[in-house]
Structure 1
Amino acid sequence: MLELAASLKRENPTRTVAQVARILRTATGWAPSESTLLRHFHRLDLMGPGGGEAAAVFGRFEAADPNELWVGDALHGPRVGDRKTYLFAFLDDHTRLAVGYRFGFAEDAVRLAAALRPALAARGVPAGIYVDNGSAFVDAWLLRACAKLGVRLVHSAPGRPQGRGKVERWFRSVREQFLIEVTDTSGEDLAAAGVDHATALLELNRLFVAWVETEYHRRVHTETGQSPLDRWEAGWDRLGRTPAMPTADELTEAFLWSEYRVVTKTATVSLHANTYQVDPALVGRKVELVFSPFDLETVEVRYRDKSYGKALPHTISRHTHPKAKPETPQPEPPAATGIDYLALTAAAHDEQLRGDERIGYYALYGQDDQIPGQLSIDDLQPTVDDNPEGEVSA
């Protein structure tokens, strides 16, 4: 067993002692104690500088109940097909439960929503969400979503990330226990495996879900003395209630985007190069345009919280919001083959005419490949004789 442990350490020197022990338990059902493994690795000189377990520093604050506070953050992930990935995650402060998480190819509001929306649907609505000042977390969309659901959104002061120790420690666990086992891949790797970027990203998320739900959520946390899942369930049992779950309509409304525009004298509004016709009664008013970032053809018009129905598309140049970039880019146009089909067809036709002796088309052609007289207007002139008087011959 110790030999296998040493092989695991040599295979990936950045694996911690605790990670090697976890792998052994998963693979064989048993593992030596971490102290035994540590002594063994030291004897084999497998513990380089910084190879021990670093002490973690945590803030003193802890939410008293589950869903009192979620802490959100982003972490750089592995490269998938030469493209960087980013992990958006939300951690329940009281239980350390990872309520929502997802890897994506961009660090933006769309990928943030992809992590937060399933969290709200599965774990309920928290009283507050605490995030930093990254561009995705200060986007107006997040403020609107929280306001619609009655969630207090708090941003940490720039340069003073107090209260973020728990999510930072969790990210450390993610790096040491999950990402350490993930290998960066190149575009050539994906091509050789017959896998595209979207499929590879789905697989990364599938493996991460398995690790979170099977390993992290069920392992006793060193600070709380309970596994995150047990602490979550115990917290709700103590409160004598269940999480406040949003309805499907509430979630849909919360995850719509909106922008404000002044209605022109012609009863139109513009939104990202698109023009829409609205109710003439709104001319001169500043209205709210509510829409899905993935569908700019369907835009609802609101004024003072009253709906004035759907705006009538007049000119549509963009079908999605500029920030709503797809997870994978549109495929590049294929390289030109250099084959001119019509030119080849014309050449084949010419060859056919010259070679078909049954009809004798070749006889029609002159030395310049033109049919004699086919472009001459002389042949179109009326025939006259040399009679200077212009008399008609008898």
Structure 2
Amino acid sequence: MDEQARLERARAIGLFRYMLIREAADPTLNRRQRGALVRELAAMVHTDPDGRPVRITRWTLDRWITDWKRGGFDALVPSPRQSRPRTPPEIMDLAASLKKENPSRSAAQICRIIHAKFGWTPDERTVQRMIVREGLDALRGPSVPAVFGRFEADGPNELWTGDALHGPMVAGRKTYLFAFIDDHSRAVMGHRWGFAEDTVRLAAALRPALAARGLPRYIYVDNGSAFVDSWLLRACAKLGIRLVHSAPGRPQGRGKIERFFRTVNGEFVVEIAAGDGKPGRQIESLLEMNRLFTAWVENVYHRRVHSETGLAPLARWMGDRPLSTPNPADLAEAFRWSEHRTVSKTALVSLHGNRYQVDPRLVGQRVELVFDPFDLSFLRVRLQGEDAGTALPFQVSRHSHPKARPEMPPEEPRTTTGIDYLHLIDTAHTAELADRVNYAALGEPPESVDLTDE
């Protein structure tokens, strides 16, 4: 009776296989048509002879089609002695119970438990297939909230954190603030308000920061489009800076700059008029916006004692540690953009609608074009990292990179009434700069300016 049952089961399996492949095995089909049918079958859920839902891979279907072509229906019938599962059902029931008891257990861990109990265990892959077949892989263990410790860099310029803030409307357009702060001191290393959240505005904030504040060891940013652009990776690589991106969906590591943005919103942005007759300073241009923000950062934020460090950000950053400032030529080279092109048979290369003449010896070579995004009339050519001359303009219709969109030109500011907080800060900042210039020329010490109590 057992032999007869195994034989009937083997034939049922062979019939199940044949019913799946009969259309795809039609000899009148070409390879493309057969491939489309096989992929469609592999994407479907089928019911096996035992009534269980199963998925069949395309490679298994291809193997069954090949077997049928060689040996017909008999080649699809498995050996009767192999048609029954070799793992006792009570063992599989125990494995399912262990998974339900603790959804965090893996198939490997379940096999270890079974082996400890009975001295043997089914194959790990067998248990994993059972888990997927029974839908137990959808079970999830209790979520444990992540624990984050407090972190602070050991010294200035050890770690800079960068991010972008969505700001108010200026001249009818939305503004964005790119900023970088030093993790150790919380001092603002660089900043820039712009009309776009793109790579050009990011470079406008980062490049002056590196020139004035020195080179950090690490720059920590998120996965925004401007921060994952290839130019930033190239610039950091040229200057020896390690660029680190936070894990998607885990912004906890950027808490310091998020707290700085809260301060910006609460003390700077709140003083800017939002339109519709609301109070505040009417800012008409980005030039004015950046000038006022610089005055606020240098005269208010940098001089106020930070609640976490106990020191003013700028005072803590200006410690005894020497700064590593980049060479101006190296900095300019790092912030050039580059793209790769293949030199045509006529010794021409194309870049954003422009065509350039290069050395004829480079025909057929894959070269790197290095350029200033705001001036596409001059390109340097490199082959495998070595200088290969200059690309001479042959036909130029675009003079700047498509991403290098210019900002709106500044307009004359309107008159305002009442007490203008930002104007007071800007006036004090300008006066202090003038005092420093006089001190340098006449040797007279400047008067200290402190608006933290205003």
1:122 partnered with 2:215: no
Q: 1:131 aligns with which of 221, 244, 268?
A: 221
Identify the residue that residue 299 of structure 2 maps to in structure 1.
214
4+ long deviations beyond 6 Å: none
1:247 partnered with 2:332: no
Give the distance between the partners of 1:185 and 1:97, measured in 2 at CA. 31
Identify the residue that residue 293 of structure 1 maps to in structure 2.
373
Q: 1:93 to 1:59 in 2, by over 3 A?
A: farther
Identify the residue that residue 171 of structure 1 maps to in structure 2.
261
Secondary structure at the aligned position of 2:201 is classed as helix
Secondary structure at the aligned position of 2:369 is classed as strand
Contact 1:59 1:164 (C-alpha < 8 Å) held by counterparts: no
Q: 1:103 to 1:314 in 2, by over 3 A?
A: same
Contact 1:82 1:185 (C-alpha < 8 Å) held by counterparts: no
Identify the residue that residue 51 of structure 2 maps to in structure 1.
none
Identify the residue that residue 224 of structure 1 maps to in structure 2.
309
- Between Structure 1 and Structure 2, the one with more helix by share is 2
> Which sections of structure 2, spanning at least 5 residues, go unmatched?
1-146, 277-281, 411-454
1:153 partnered with 2:153: no
**CA deviation profile, 1:77-114 (whole Å, cap 9, x unmatched):** 11011100000000000110000001011110000000
Q: 2:387 aligns with which of 307, 326, 335?
A: 307
Contact 1:294 1:324 (C-alpha < 8 Å) held by counterparts: yes
Give the distance between the partners of 1:206 and 1:185, measured in 2 at CA. 20
Give the distance between the partners of 1:218 and 1:61, measured in 2 at CA. 23
Give the distance between the partners of 1:273 and 1:182, measured in 2 at CA. 41
Question: TM-score, length-normalised on structure 2?
Answer: 0.55
Identify the residue that residue 287 of structure 2 maps to in structure 1.
202
1:101 partnered with 2:186: no
Contact 1:131 1:137 (C-alpha < 8 Å) held by counterparts: yes
Secondary structure at the aligned position of 1:318 is classed as coil
For this pair of structures, how many residues does the alignment match? 261
Q: 1:284 aligns with which of 356, 360, 364?
A: 364
Contact 1:59 1:163 (C-alpha < 8 Å) held by counterparts: no
Secondary structure at the aligned position of 1:243 is classed as coil
Give the distance between the partners of 1:169 and 1:162, measured in 2 at CA. 11
Secondary structure at the aligned position of 1:215 is classed as helix
Q: 1:293 is aligned with what amino acid?
A: P
Q: 2:334 is aligned with what amino acid?
A: A
Residue 185 (structure 1) shift: 4.7
> Which sections of structure 1, spanning at least 5 residues, go unmatched?
1-56, 187-192, 331-394
Greater RCO, CA 8 A, separation 6+ = 1
Secondary structure at the aligned position of 1:249 is classed as helix
For residues 332-347 of structure 1, the aligned pairs below 5 Å read none
Q: 1:96 to 1:121 in 2, by over 3 A?
A: same
Secondary structure at the aligned position of 2:268 is classed as helix
Identify the residue that residue 164 of structure 2 maps to in structure 1.
74
- Over the matched positions of the two proteins, sequence identity in percent amounts to 67
Give the distance between the partners of 1:329 and 1:264, measured in 2 at CA. 40
Identify the residue that residue 272 of structure 1 maps to in structure 2.
352
Question: TM-score, length-normalised on structure 1?
Answer: 0.64
1:85 partnered with 2:166: no
Residue 58 (structure 1) shift: 8.4
Contact 1:80 1:185 (C-alpha < 8 Å) held by counterparts: no
Q: 1:223 is aligned with what amino acid?
A: E
Secondary structure at the aligned position of 1:126 is classed as coil
Contact 1:110 1:323 (C-alpha < 8 Å) held by counterparts: yes
Root-mean-square deviation (CA, aligned residues, Å) is: 2.1
Q: 1:119 to 1:299 in 2, by over 3 A?
A: same
Residue 307 (structure 1) shift: 1.1
Q: 1:307 to 1:98 in 2, by over 3 A?
A: same
Give the distance between the partners of 1:76 and 1:141, measured in 2 at CA. 22
Give the distance between the partners of 2:390 and 2:408, measured in 1 at CA. 30
Give the distance between the partners of 2:148 and 2:378, measured in 1 at CA. 47
Give the distance between the partners of 1:124 and 1:173, measured in 2 at CA. 25
Q: 1:113 to 1:58 in 2, by over 3 A?
A: farther
Give the distance between the partners of 2:198 and 2:148, measured in 1 at CA. 28
**CA deviation profile, 1:230-273 (whole Å, cap 9, x unmatched):** 11123xx1x4xx21001110111011000001111111110001
Residue 184 (structure 1) shift: 2.6
Q: 1:324 is aligned with what amino acid?
A: A
Secondary structure at the aligned position of 2:399 is classed as coil
Secondary structure at the aligned position of 2:234 is classed as helix
For residues 36-51 of structure 1, the aligned pairs below 5 Å read none
Give the distance between the partners of 1:122 and 1:58, measured in 2 at CA. 33
Residue 323 (structure 1) shift: 0.3
**CA deviation profile, 1:278-302 (whole Å, cap 9, x unmatched):** 1111111110000000011101100
For residues 348-387 of structure 1, the aligned pairs below 5 Å read none
Residue 162 (structure 1) shift: 2.9
Give the distance between the partners of 1:257 and 1:203, measured in 2 at CA. 29
